[in-house]
Amino acid sequence: MDRSQTITGLFAILFGGWIVAETYTSFKISVSSHIGGGIDAAGYPRLLGVLAVSVGVLLLASGVLAKGGNAGRRSAGRLWAPALLCVILAAYFQTLLLFGYMLATPFLVSAVLLLANERRPIVIAAVSVAATAAFGLLFEFGAGLLLPDGRLVSLGI
């Protein structure tokens, strides 16, 4: 069995099936009108969903029937590290709301450097502060972007 192919097939069936179900249950789609005949607003995503399910069935069948195993691209590295970075990014987006760019960014930069195996505290501190300042200047003055202030800063805290 080819595990990678099988899991991808299952994913395609679930994803396509969900799309098809949505086209029947979603109120806004089901009331859509035909303009000039032909495929309506629900028909097109439904067609895509059916095609995805069909591809999924083929993937699943070929995965189950495959000789030899394939479990996807096996990782030689630290799988926890990308997962941790995703959590850190999610936390960063939340803290941006509260603390703003200038306070939240040095922590993100430090975390990325640590995850990239940088262990020298002075380098981490220096790069975090310098990168925050440099990108802040680039985005604010170079690209004219208003960086998030954070609610605490807006409240004067």
Partner 1 sequence: MELGLPFLDQIAGMNLGAAAIAVLMGLVIGVVFGILPGLGPLLGVTLAIPFTFNMDPVTGVALLMGIYQGGSYGGAVTAILLGIPGTPIAAATLLDGRPMALAGRSSEAVTVATAASWFGGIVSGFALLALAPALAEFALSFGPAEIFCLALLGLTAIATLAEASALKGLLAGLMGLMFAAVGTDPYTGISRFNFGVTELSGGITFVALLVGLFAIPEVLAQIENPARKGERLEAIRFRLRSFGTIVSRFFSYLRSSVVGVVVGIVPGIGGVVSSFLSYKLARDLSKEPEAFGKGEPDGVVATEAANSATTGGALIPMLSLGIPGDPIVAVMMGGLLVHGITPGPALFLTDADVATGIFVMFLVGAVLLLPLGAFVVPFFVKALSIPQGLLLVVVLMLAIYGTYAVHSRLFDLWTMLAFGVLGYGMVKFGIPRAPLIIGFVLGPVVEVNLRRMSSLAQADPLAYLAGRPISLVILALVLLALVYPLVSSVLAARRTASQ
Tell me which residues touch partner 1 (CB under 8 A).
4-5, 7-8, 12, 15-16, 19, 22, 26, 28-29, 31-33, 35-39, 41, 44-45, 48-49, 51-52, 55-56, 58-59, 62, 72-73, 75-79, 81-82, 85-86, 89-90, 93, 96-97, 105, 108-109, 112-113, 115-118, 127, 131, 135, 139, 143-148
- Nearest Cα to 61, choosing from 16, 5, 4, 12? 5
Amino acid letter for position 60: L
* Smallest gap from residue 75 Cβ to partner 1 (A): 6
DSSP state of 26: -
* Smallest gap from residue 25 Cβ to partner 1 (A): 12
Give yes or no for a contact between 4 and 63, defined as CB atoms under 8 angstroms apart.
Answer: yes
Question: 37 or 156, CB closer to partner 1?
Answer: 37
* Smallest gap from residue 114 Cβ to partner 1 (A): 8
**64-68-71-77 Cα dihedral, nearest 10 degrees:** 180
Give yes or no for a contact between 16 and 59, defined as CB atoms under 8 angstroms apart.
Answer: no
